[in-house]
């Protein structure tokens, strides 16, 4: 269902009613295509951890095969973006672990949020390494669960499952706090945080005091991008003390025509003229989890936010993991050289999916397929 981007169990069942589609499925996968009601019965009882373990196994296989190490930060660090999103909005008394908030007009909204650690790179990959649900333990709570509490749990599991992976955690200003710095120190992780004006006032005081004194920590860059002159001014200050932690700060002022933008980050990389450009570039990749991660899963065929199960959170979580696995598999296809050469302004990925589904509704010539599979071919990424 998720590989074919059908967005609902019903839509997948409609495909299943087609005899040719069902036959082709059996020819390729050597198993019967189940009715989605049957699938749902499995989703209701399967342990949530099982599908996540499967996902981790797939990601690790890609890491072992060195598919994901072509765009490492400073030739050594995987860029891991951590961010949360709303998975679904539900009705009151949906389950015992819903989160809730009160809107401006006094209405209570119930929902389920999820925190993701996704591996990203400049070639367009955005792969779920680990998922942590943000949810209350039971109905009788004083304080609700939140993203930062969920991150604590996520970080322990991340270290457990990917203990040898060198990571740079990229996240937003919410994470600019002592608990996060401590976790990164303890786990031996690097970080780049989008630093907002309201975050850590004492660090900002220090920055504003030192900025004028350390004029040598500055670099000007002029580029020509898509027909526009782009001016960038970089500034950095290292080793600002914050409750015993050494924080490195940097800023990039960008001017394109008359439009000015400002990008500010704090990190635990010692910043210098040799690494500032790549560091800011990595920090700016934070939007990728929103765009290539959540938006793709919400709007491009995966149906994140769709209620695959209305009654069971266990099933919901299992569907969500299947979605992450399918998105991973589809990215390997969509970002590979085989397909990339076919995608253009006129031919979108959506159109190619329609062609594939169309082929599966006709009789597949298995001899032809077998011949094709015998040919050696190389799929490159990037």
In the complex, what is the shortest distance from the CB of residue 307 to Zn ion, in angstroms, rounded to a whole number? 11
Determine if 307 is a binding residue for Zn ion (CB under 5 A): no
For residues 115 and 85, give the distance between their C-alpha atoms in angstroms, rounded to a whole number.
7
Interior angle at CA 50, CA 110 and CA 293, nearest 5? 55
The residue among 129 and 313 lying less far from Zn ion, judged by its C-beta, is 313
In the complex, what is the shortest distance from the CB of residue 90 to Zn ion, in angstroms, rounded to a whole number? 5
For residues 232 and 216, give the distance between their C-alpha atoms in angstroms, rounded to a whole number.
16
Q: Which stretch binds Zn ion (CB under 5 A): 89-97, 221-229, 291-299, 341-349?
A: 89-97
Q: Are 316 and 88 in contact (CB under 8 A)?
A: yes
Give the helix/strand (H/E) hosting 134: strand 126-134
For residues 304 and 8, give the distance between their C-alpha atoms in angstroms, rounded to a whole number.
10
> Count residues contacting Zn ion (CB under 5 A)?
3
Of the candidate residues 35, 60, 94, 298, the single one contacting Zn ion (CB under 5 A) = 94
Determine if 357 is a binding residue for Zn ion (CB under 5 A): no
Determine if 98 is a binding residue for Zn ion (CB under 5 A): yes
Q: Find residue 78's DSSP bridge partners.
A: 167
Q: Find residue 218's DSSP bridge partners.
A: 235
In the complex, what is the shortest distance from the CB of residue 158 to Zn ion, in angstroms, rounded to a whole number? 25
Q: Which stretch binds Zn ion (CB under 5 A): 49-57, 92-100, 215-223, 299-307?
A: 92-100
In the complex, what is the shortest distance from the CB of residue 23 to Zn ion, in angstroms, rounded to a whole number? 40
The residue among 109 and 210 lying less far from Zn ion, judged by its C-beta, is 109
- Residues 6 or more apart whose CB falls under 8 angstroms from that of 117 comprise 80, 81, 82, 128, 129, 130, 131, 132, 154, 158, 169
In the complex, what is the shortest distance from the CB of residue 150 to Zn ion, in angstroms, rounded to a whole number? 15
The residue among 112 and 288 lying less far from Zn ion, judged by its C-beta, is 112
Determine if 95 is a binding residue for Zn ion (CB under 5 A): yes
**Interface ranges with Zn ion (CB under 5 A):** 94-95, 98
């Amino acid at each position: 269902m998720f590989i074919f981007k059908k967005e609902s169990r019903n839509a997948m069942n409609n495909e299943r009613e087609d005899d040719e589609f069902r036959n082709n499925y059996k020819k390729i996968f050597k198993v019967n295509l189940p009715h989605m009601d049957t699938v749902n019965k499995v989703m209701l009882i399967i342990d949530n951890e099982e599908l996540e373990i499967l996902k981790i196994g797939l990601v690790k296989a890609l890491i072992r095969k060195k598919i994901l190490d072509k765009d490492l930060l400073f030739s050594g660090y995987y860029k891991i973006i951590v961010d949360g999103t709303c998975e679904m909005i539900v009705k009151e008394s949906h389950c015992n672990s819903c989160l809730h908030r009160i809107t401006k007009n006094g209405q209570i909204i119930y929902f389920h949020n999820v925190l993701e650690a996704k591996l990203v790179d400049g070639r367009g990959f955005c792969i779920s390494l680990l998922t942590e649900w943000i949810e209350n333990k039971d109905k009788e709570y004083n304080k609700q669960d939140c993203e930062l509490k969920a991150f604590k749990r996520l970080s322990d599991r991340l270290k457990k499952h990917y203990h040898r992976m060198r990571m740079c955690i990229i996240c937003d200003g919410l994470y600019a706090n002592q608990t996060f710095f401590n976790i990164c120190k303890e786990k031996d992780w690097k970080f780049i945080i989008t630093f907002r004006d309201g975050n850590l006032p004492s660090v900002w005081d220090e920055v504003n005091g030192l900025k004028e004194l350390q004029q040598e920590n500055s670099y000007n860059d002029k580029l020509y991008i898509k027909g526009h002159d782009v001016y960038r001014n970089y500034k950095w200050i290292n080793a600002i003390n914050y409750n015993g932690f050494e924080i490195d700060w940097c800023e990039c002022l960008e001017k394109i025509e008359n439009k000015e933008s400002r990008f500010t980050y704090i990190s635990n990389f010692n910043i210098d003229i040799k690494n500032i450009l790549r560091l800011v570039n990595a920090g700016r990749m934070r939007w990728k989890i929103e765009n290539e991660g959540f938006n793709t899963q919400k709007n491009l065929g995966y149906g994140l936010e769709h209620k695959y199960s209305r009654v069971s959170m266990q099933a919901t979580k299992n569907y969500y993991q299947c979605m992450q696995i399918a998105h991973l598999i589809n990215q390997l296809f969509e970002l590979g050289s085989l397909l990339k050469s076919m995608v253009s302004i006129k031919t979108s990925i959506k159109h190619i999916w329609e062609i594939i589904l169309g082929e599966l509704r006709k009789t597949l010539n298995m001899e032809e397929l077998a011949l094709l599979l015998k040919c050696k071919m190389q799929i490159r990424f990037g």
